[in-house]
Amino acid sequence: MAELISKLQAVLPTRGGEANAKASSAEVLQEACRYIRRLHREADALSERLAELLLLQPSDLAINGADVPDLIRSLLM
């Protein structure tokens, strides 16, 4: 179990100089949960922004001559 917690801690973003700090299993799991919740919020915000962009009129969606909806669709594929 300790090895799994150590691996989990290794993939979590660090806070300041805490990279080498030894955290308890509970602390690592709490931090992992916070990080996952943050990623979910970021993904939701990006999804909402993408939906807003896709609803704009084509004339509003030019970036350096590129059609933004087509550009977004190509990035998602």
Antiparallel, parallel or unpaired: β 62-63 and 66-67 = antiparallel
Model confidence, pTM = 0.66
At 18-61, the pLDDT tens digits run: 655 678 999 999 999 999 999 999 999 888 888 877 776 666 65
Domain boundaries, the chain: 2-6+23-76
Q: 4 pLDDT band (50/70/90 cuts)?
A: very high
Find the largest Cα–Cα distance for the chain.
Answer: 56
